[in-house]
Amino acid sequence: MAKTTRTTKKEKDEILSEALDLDTDGFGKSAASSEVVLDLKDLQTHFTTRWGTVKAVDGVSYNVKRGETLGVVGESGSGKSVSALSIMRLVPSPPGEIVSGEVILNGRDLLKLSEKEMTSVRGGEISMILQDPMQALNPVFTIENQVGEAIKIHQGLRGKVLVDKVVDSLKKVRIPAPDTRAKDYPHQLSGGMRQRVVGAIGISSAPSVIIADEPTTSLDVTIQAAYLRLLRQIQQEEGVGIIFITHDFGIVAKMCDRVAVMYAGRIVELSDVRTIFNSPLHEYTKALIESVPKLEEKTGRLPQIEGQPPLLHNLPPGDAFAPRSPLEFTEEDASIRPELCEVEPGHWVQLCRSSVQNFDKYKHLIGNAA
């Protein structure tokens, strides 16, 4: 078996110099435009289990603009991945089912496409970068084969043109010596380089949207920073919209333009990053921000918030966060589904007395939702 090639000193220096080059403000400037490329409307995805119906995604709406990064944050089990899988129509069925809603990508509702049409959308107009690069790459094929496969399917290229395009994609994700690296197998690359290869596959078809589900959990912190910066650079060059799913509010601050905070299958707050950090209104958002681990004590574990996340098969219709919220709880909060209201332009909050301080200031907005 070939020996695993570790990242060489030169490659490491290159990665580090990129990481140290970080703007204090984040992983690069925003490239967001006002043109909506993906529009999710009232998406509902349920699982049938022997304990009952799990409403993993329970009426989620958000949009992603060209060149924008939308962060999706929330504790484990809040429905982040299932909403992403629903967009890709990759929810395992059974037990899962997309019950209702719309997923409009470049003007077409993906939920209405045939499976054949959907196959060409996946990895074409929209692509997904998975959590673990080793899982995303096949150990028995070379990098050239794997990046080439995606390009072959979506752009019909063959022969020398295809090889050139592969090398070009590897160059875009700043893989040193891309023509020789293309001949390597995944295990011969370092973790950071593998993650870049997965990135290369993700962008090879010039998608409108990339979904990155916890793309950096298996990388160490400096390599993580370099990779995220690279994603931002690619975004600026290609104008791609990114849905960035993570537990890490620290990364969200640097990486995202806007943030959707999910709890128990619903969005409880959505706004631009600055507003979410400076003036969060929902008690769950506040708790998540307070639980951001300090850099020196980063353990890779999930944020701890007092109380347990709720059991999704047995949710009351009302505010699911109420039992954990420090605010007062009323019968009404448990029985009526709170509305997501726009409290100021672009700042949406799921309004209810049990989870929003100064609720009375905003309650006149309820019932006026679009």
Cβ 82 to Mg ion, closest distance in Å? 8
- Of 81 and 285, CB closest to Mg ion: 81
Cβ 245 to ligand ATP, closest distance in Å? 7
- Of 95 and 326, CB closest to Mg ion: 95
Cβ 131 to ligand ATP, closest distance in Å? 8
* Site membership for Mg ion, residue 81 (CB under 5 A): yes
3-state DSSP of the chain = CCCCCCCCHHHHHHHHHHHHCCECCECCCCCCCCCEEEEEEEEEEEEEECCEEEEEEEEEEEEEECCCEEEEECCCCCCHHHHHHHHHCCCCCCCEEEEEEEEEECCEEHHHCCHHHHHHHECCCEEEECCCHHHHCCCCCCHHHHHHHHHHHHHCCCHHHHHHHHHHHHHHCCCCCHHHHCCCCHHHCCHHHHHHHHHHHHHCCCCCEEEEECCCCCCCHHHHHHHHHHHHHHHHHHCCEEEEEECCHHHHHHHCCEEEEEECCEEEEEEEHHHHHHCCCEHHHHHHHHCCCCHHHCCCCCCCCCCCCCCHHHCCCCCCCHHHCCCCCCHHHHHCCCEEEEEECCEEEEECCCCECCHHHHHHHCCCCC
- Of 30 and 61, CB closest to ligand ATP: 61
Cβ 50 to ligand ATP, closest distance in Å? 10
- Of 77 and 207, CB closest to ligand ATP: 77
Cβ 114 to ligand ATP, closest distance in Å? 24
Binding site for ligand ATP (CB under 6 A): 47, 49, 54, 56, 74, 76-82, 92, 95-96, 247, 312
Residue count, binding to Mg ion (CB under 5 A): 1
Identify which range of 41-49, 77-85, 203-211, 254-262 contacts Mg ion by CB under 5 A. 77-85
217 binds, among Mg ion, ligand ATP, none (CB under 5 to 8 A by kind): none
172 binds, among Mg ion, ligand ATP, none (CB under 5 to 8 A by kind): none
Cβ 270 to Mg ion, closest distance in Å? 18
The binding site for Mg ion (CB under 5 A) comprises 81
